Amino acid sequence: MSTRRRETNALCMSRARMVDIQFKDLSYEVQVSKFKYRGTKKQILKGMNGIFKSTELTAIMGPSGAGKSTLLNILSGFQQGQLQGTVEYISSEGKQNWDMYKKQSCYIQQSDNLYGLFTVQESMMMATYLKIGSNATKMFRQLVIDNILETLKLTKVKETKVDRLSGGQKKRLSIALELIDNPPIMFLDEPTTGLDSMASLQCIVALKTLAKSGRTVICTIHQPSAALYQMFDYIYLVVDGRCMYAGTPDDTVSYFAQLGFQCPQYHNPADYMLEVVNQEYGDYSNQLVVAAKEYCQREETSLKVRIMREASFYNEKTKLMLDPPSELIKFKVLLYRYILIIYRDWSVSHIKLLLHFLVAVLLGLLFEKAGKDANKTLNNVGFLLVTSLYFIYTSMIPAVLKFPLEMAILKKERFNNWYQLRTYYAATLVTTLPLQIFFTFIYSAVSYVLTSQPMEWNRFFMFLLIIALTSFISEGIGLGLGAIFNPINGTFFGAITTCAMLSLAGFLILFNHMPKFLYYISYINYFRYSVDGLVQAIYGFQREKLICPSQYDYCHFRIPSLLLEELRMSKSIFWVDAVVLFAWFVIIRIMVYISLKKRLSKI
Ligand SMILES: Nc1ncnc2c1ncn2[C@@H]1O[C@H](COP(=O)(O)OP(=O)(O)OP(=O)(O)O)[C@@H](O)[C@H]1O
């Protein structure tokens, strides 16, 4: 074995702190009805006991709807609710509560929530910067990556984009990403679902290797083949929220035989066990539960053995190298990741840029000379209205879809302690705002010139400021809707909100024709301030008279103040509009953060 290989092995595969999980009388129920105090409850886990040990690969098996995922989610802390009983984590330092180990375990969901635009190497390298402290050199990071990829047989696809990986490779990459900070406990929800038998075997072999290096690896699994079944060290069979077998795969046949269920020769023991608990040979559920309670008891690993084992596996030196980086460094990494996504994802940057340019040209042609022709003043107000509406829609609707798409990745990475929510949120804000400003600038520059608006820098920048603020607020509302609702409801609410704002802006229905309460509501309508701000930017600040073309004898709105009077905007102040819009922007962003936090706290 080369020196380099030995070094990485020492760094990566032999340093997991050993933790056993013990749960006693674990019961869990959920509220089925929406009404908290009157609703019926459903008991999912019914007094379960068990010990899952380090260095072992444990399979939680059972029929569909038995409670496997719920048990896994409860043990990992991914799901919280009305829990009874105890869950203890036992290391060489004694029994600890869950908070101690929450930060050290990882949860790998059934779906592989990965960014498809990065290569395996890029994904791994970014993960090392999010998980390993800044004192680690680039070479060290690469050694860690190479070693993990080699263990999980991913070296050959190191330079392949994640989008192009097979299902099995994606699953192994999900595991590889979590291995970087070497979690002592790994929870996996159905890691073999959707994989063919070869890929499933490779995945389970990889998990077994990880368990043998000191970790506690627990996964749920549906119906493993006989070969796969034998790979596990410990089987925990769950049926209707109760344990019906806990033991090694080798003991399964003799255990069920002793209870009167003789597994036929050449029959997969896993299949037979499921047939028995699925009542294909009669309903013996209660006997099986009682028998499991009597025969499937497990001894705790003695402290002495635990300390001895851990001494051979755990390396304090490496732990120092693996201290997590500061949130500031994580922020920089997330920023870099977003910039790379924006650069590589055509739909985010290039297409949007092209569309903003084309729409600006189209509106420019449609509202040609509207900015300076006194006969087209009302058309110009129409242009300002359309501009505001255009940015509301194009910023809000894509944003509604942004969080639901990213939510799964965010949920996974945050639960596995990659970064704090505020770091993620700050990074999205810092990357999306400049992009939004750039888009509004392109649109404004083109449409402003083509519609012959006044060629004064200060008016142009005021016009740009109002559009940018309108766009920020709308994006914020879109993100908020995306965080609260699913994409279909979110886009529906987005469209409804925009229609309501348009109706309450004072243009389609004049303010003095509105019922009083709706008139007051219109004060919180940011669309109103947006259009008002745009009109002020173009016609306010004592703009001089407009040119009335020679073919017309009279242009009613030649004098800008007359137009402002007609639109009931003569008393408005541009900077008040700008400040109100800015306040809206801040409030909306805070509300989005809160709703996102709330959403993430639920499973
Ligand atoms: N929040 C909830 N509200 C109501 N019922 C729930 C809730 N969560 C889980 N259940 C129910 O609890 C039972 C167990 O669900 P769980 O997802 O743990 O099963 P499972 O064994 O993992 O099933 P599968 O193998 O099909 O994924 C199911 O009947 C499910 O409908």
Same domain, 206 and 241: yes
Residue 132 DSSP symbol: S
Give the pLDDT confidence score for residue 363 in this predicted structure.
95
Residue 410 lies in a domain: yes
Q: Which atom of ligand 1 is nearest to the CA of 73?
A: 18
Q: Does any ligand 1 atom lie closer than 6 A to the CB of residue 221?
A: no
Residue 8 lies in a domain: no
The alpha carbon dihedral of 500, 502, 504, 509 has a sign of negative
What is the whole-number distance in angstroms between the Cα of residue 238 and the centre of ligand 1? 12
Residue 518 lies in a domain: yes
| Residues 493-520: b if buried by 16+ CB within 10 A, e if exposed | bbeebbeebbbbbbbeeeeeebeeeeee
Choosing from 270, 290, 320, the residue where a domain stops is 320
Same domain, 382 and 398: yes
> Helix, strand, or coil here: 362?
helix
Same domain, 587 and 464: yes
Same domain, 460 and 593: yes
Report which protein residue has its CA nearest ligand 1's atom 23: 65
Q: Does any ligand 1 atom lie closer than 6 A to the CB of residue 540?
A: no
Same domain, 425 and 520: yes
CA separation for the pair 131, 326 (Å, rounded): 9
Q: Does any ligand 1 atom lie closer than 6 A to the CB of residue 70?
A: yes
Residue 326 DSSP symbol: P
Integer CA distances (angstroms), 416 to 165, 175, 200, 411, 562, in order:
23, 12, 24, 8, 62
Structure tokens at 349: 């940057």
Same domain, 387 and 407: yes
State the amino acid at position 157 in one-letter form: V
Same domain, 443 and 509: yes
Choosing from 320, 339, 361, the residue where a domain stops is 320
Contact 463, 534 (CB under 8 A): yes
What is the whole-number distance in angstroms between the Cα of residue 78 and the centre of ligand 1? 14
Mean pLDDT per 10-residue segment, the chain (603 residues): 43 59 89 65 88 92 91 85 83 72 80 91 95 86 90 91 92 90 88 82 88 89 90 93 92 90 87 87 83 77 67 52 81 94 81 93 93 90 94 90 80 89 93 91 96 94 96 93 87 89 80 82 89 93 87 83 86 93 95 89 65
Report which protein residue has its CA nearest ligand 1's atom 13: 65
Q: Where does residue 67 fall: left (phi above 0), alpha (psi -120 to 50 degrees), or beta otherwise?
A: left
Pocket-testing residue among 69, 237, 277, ligand 1, by greatest number of atoms within 8 A of Cβ = 69
The helix-helix angle for 421-450 and 350-366 (nearest 10°) equals 30
Give the pLDDT confidence score for residue 126 in this predicted structure.
95
The whole domain housing 551 covers 327-602
How many CA atoms are closer than 13 Å to the CA of 472, on its beta-carbon side?
Answer: 27
Q: Which atom of ligand 1 is nearest to the CA of 189?
A: 22
Choosing from 300, 320, 340, the residue where a domain stops is 320
Q: Does any ligand 1 atom lie closer than 6 A to the CB of residue 434?
A: no
Q: Which atom of ligand 1 is nearest to the CA of 70?
A: 18
To the nearest whole number, what is the mean pLDDT of the chain?
86
Contact 246, 50 (CB under 8 A): yes
Q: Does any ligand 1 atom lie closer than 6 A to the CB of residue 66?
A: yes
Give the pLDDT confidence score for residue 309 in this predicted structure.
65
Cite the beta strand spans of 53-164 per DSSP E. Answer: 57-61, 82-91, 94-96, 105-108
At 68-120, the pLDDT tens digits run 999 998 888 877 777 888 888 887 777 776 666 666 788 998 888 899 999 99
Task: Report residue 323: phi and psi, to 5°.
Answer: -60, 135
Q: In this structure, are strands 185-188 and 216-220 parallel, antiparallel, or unpaired?
A: parallel
Give the pLDDT confidence score for residue 33 in this predicted structure.
65
Give the pLDDT confidence score for residue 424 in this predicted structure.
94
Same domain, 297 and 442: no
Same domain, 414 and 298: no
CA separation for the pair 601, 272 (Å, rounded): 39
Report which protein residue has its CA nearest ligand 1's atom 20: 65
Place of tokens 């019906």: 244
CA separation for the pair 238, 264 (Å, rounded): 22
For 382-428, the DSSP string reads HHHHHHHHHHHHHHHHHHHHHHHHHHHHHHHHHHTTSS-HHHHHHHH
Contact 179, 215 (CB under 8 A): no
The helix-helix angle for 457-484 and 421-450 (nearest 10°) equals 140
Q: Which atom of ligand 1 is nearest to the CA of 81?
A: 1
Q: Does any ligand 1 atom lie closer than 6 A to the CB of residue 64?
A: yes
Q: Which of 138, 214, 142 is nearest to 183 (CA)?
A: 214
What is the whole-number distance in angstroms between the Cα of residue 388 and the centre of ligand 1? 47
Structure tokens at 401: 């879809």
Same domain, 297 and 405: no
Residue 116 lies in a domain: no
Q: Which of 152, 147, 148 is nearest to 170 (CA)?
A: 152
Residue 551 lies in a domain: yes
Residue 139 lies in a domain: no
Q: Which of 431, 420, 382 is nearest to 600 (CA)?
A: 420
Q: Which of 12, 24, 53, 106 is nearest to 306 (CA)?
A: 53
CA separation for the pair 515, 216 (Å, rounded): 66
Residue 16 DSSP symbol: P
Tally of structural domains, the chain? 2
What is the whole-number distance in angstroms between the Cα of residue 177 and the centre of ligand 1? 28
Q: Does any ligand 1 atom lie closer than 6 A to the CB of residue 306?
A: no
Residue 151 lies in a domain: no
Report which protein residue has its CA nearest ligand 1's atom 14: 67
Same domain, 579 and 454: yes
Same domain, 93 and 204: yes
Q: Which atom of ligand 1 is nearest to the CA of 67?
A: 18
Q: Does any ligand 1 atom lie closer than 6 A to the CB of residue 602?
A: no
Residue 557 lies in a domain: yes
Residue 9 DSSP symbol: I
Could you give the ipTM of this predicted complex?
Answer: 0.96
Residue 11 DSSP symbol: I
CA separation for the pair 392, 325 (Å, rounded): 38
Give the pLDDT confidence score for residue 585 in this predicted structure.
95
Pocket-testing residue among 32, 68, 76, 83, ligand 1, by greatest number of atoms within 8 A of Cβ = 68
> Helix, strand, or coil here: 168?
helix
Place of tokens 């999205």: 428
Report which protein residue has its CA nearest ligand 1's atom 31: 65
Q: Which CATH number goes with the domain that contains 264?
A: 3.40.50.300
Give the pLDDT confidence score for residue 406 in this predicted structure.
81
Structure tokens at 517: 């309460």
Structure tokens at 149: 């990829």
Q: Does any ligand 1 atom lie closer than 6 A to the CB of residue 30?
A: yes
